Amino acid sequence: MKINWDSNVCQHAGVCVNTLPNVYKVEDGNFVIDTSAATEEELQLSIKQCPSGALTCSSED
């Protein structure tokens, strides 16, 4: 599963980073998403919890 992040839509609410800090991280000033650090269910939930809709998933990787 691949997670796409739209920087133009993100409200920087930090919900994703607070919910799954091992997945959603800021490294060297860049927002990175490590999908290997959580289960698919956890990832799907975090996408739903994003208040802005900036996170979307695509199953083909």
Binding site for ligand SF4 (CB under 6 A): 5, 10-16, 50-52, 54-55
CB-nearer residue toward ligand SF4: 14 or 40: 14
Cα-only R_g, the chain = 11
Evaluate whether 24 touches 16 at the Cβ level (below 8 Å): yes
Smallest distance, ligand SF4 to C-beta of residue 28, A:
17
Smallest distance, ligand SF4 to C-beta of residue 36, A:
18
Give whole-number Cα distances, 14 to 35, 37, 53, 61, in Å. Answer: 17, 18, 13, 25
CB-nearer residue toward ligand SF4: 40 or 56: 56
